[in-house]
């Protein structure tokens, strides 16, 4: 009898442990349940910055001022002036997707900073096509997008504060003049990492 009880308990043990071992669940990216940390740029910060930049850029009408719409956009340097190692594509890709979906601009993937192409295969095929047809088919970018991400921190007693400034400039490739500039600042404050907005 005793062994039967022990056996049943042992059999149930993995299920009990399995149930308690993890509380993993899905949350909405950038949603209310996202983790907020003071000393780091969180995913919702990139989303907020990209949202603000895209709205501001599209509302400005700067991308509409081209002879043959949609405008062609090239991504230039986004300087990371924070103390963190970040992938700036987390910001730029969201902006690129939004401007492409708006129908206002298309981003070149065969022209990049320092002559490097984002898509080398597309660049190779494009060059081959130009060679075969003996004519330039590449459309030069109308605009370039550059920017900087800056981190400013402050501390008073046990309160810590971080401000992340997302600065972006859209430059007219013909004139070299900035035709749109946007800045979104996100400030977070806390005494220790907390969850939720």
Partner 1 sequence: MKTRMLLPLAGIGLLALAGCTTVNSVENADKQGQRQMVTDQRAITDASLDRKVSIVGVNQSMTPGGLLKVQVELQNRTRSLQRFNYRFEWFDANGMQVTTVASALLPDQIEGKESKFIFGLAPNPNCKDFRVKFIEAQ
Task: Write out the two tokens for 113.
Answer: 């900073």
| Residue 141 three-state SS | coil
Q: Which is nearer to partner 1, 41 or 98 (CB)?
A: 98
Q: Where are the alpha helices (DSSP H) in the chain?
A: 2-21, 43-60, 89-102, 120-133
The reply on whether position 89 binds partner 1 by CB under 8 A is no
The reply on whether position 51 binds partner 1 by CB under 8 A is yes
The reply on whether position 59 binds partner 1 by CB under 8 A is yes
What does the alpha-carbon distance between residue 21 and residue 18 come to, in Å, rounded to a whole number? 5
> Applying CB under 8 A, which of residues 104, 105, 164, 170 lies at the interface with partner 1?
104
The reply on whether position 67 binds partner 1 by CB under 8 A is no
Give the chain's end-to-end CA distance (angstroms, integer): 55
Least gap, CB of 182 to partner 1 (angstroms): 13
**With left for phi above 0 and alpha for psi between -120 and 50, is residue 21 left, alpha or beta?**
alpha
Q: How far is CA 29 from CA 33, 84, 107, in A?
A: 9, 21, 25
The reply on whether position 47 binds partner 1 by CB under 8 A is yes
The reply on whether position 185 binds partner 1 by CB under 8 A is no
Query: CB under 8 A: which stretch of 71-79, 102-110, 167-175, 176-184 binds partner 1?
Result: 102-110
Q: Which is nearer to partner 1, 177 or 195 (CB)?
A: 195
The reply on whether position 28 binds partner 1 by CB under 8 A is yes
Give yes or no for a cis peptide into 52 (omega within 30° of 0): no
Least gap, CB of 158 to partner 1 (angstroms): 19
Interface with partner 1: number of residues (CB under 8 A): 28
Short-list 51, 78, 53, 49, CA closest to 63:
53
> Applying CB under 8 A, which of residues 48, 106, 109, 161 lies at the interface with partner 1?
48
The reply on whether position 35 binds partner 1 by CB under 8 A is no
């Amino acid at each position: 009898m005793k062994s039967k009880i022990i056996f049943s308990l042992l059999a149930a043990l993995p299920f009990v442990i399995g149930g308690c071992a993890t509380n993993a669940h899905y949350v909405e990216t950038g949603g209310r349940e996202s983790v907020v940390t003071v000393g780091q740029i969180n995913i919702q910060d990139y989303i907020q910055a990209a949202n603000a930049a895209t709205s501001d850029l599209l509302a400005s009408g700067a991308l509409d001022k081209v002879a043959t719409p949609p405008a062609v956009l090239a991504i230039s340097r986004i300087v990371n002036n924070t103390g963190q190692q970040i992938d700036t594509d987390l910001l730029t890709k969201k902006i690129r997707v939004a401007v492409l979906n708006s129908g206002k601009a298309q981003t070149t993937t065969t022209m990049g900073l320092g002559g490097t192409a984002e898509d080398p295969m597309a660049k190779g095929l494009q060059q081959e096509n130009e060679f075969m047809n003996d004519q330039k088919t590449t459309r030069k970018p109308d605009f370039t997008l550059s920017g900087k991400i800056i981190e400013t921190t402050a501390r008073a007693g046990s309160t810590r504060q971080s401000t992340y400034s997302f600065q972006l400039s859209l430059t007219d490739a013909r004139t070299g003049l900035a035709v749109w500039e946007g800045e979104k600042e996100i400030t977070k404050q806390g005494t220790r990492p907390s969850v939720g907005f």
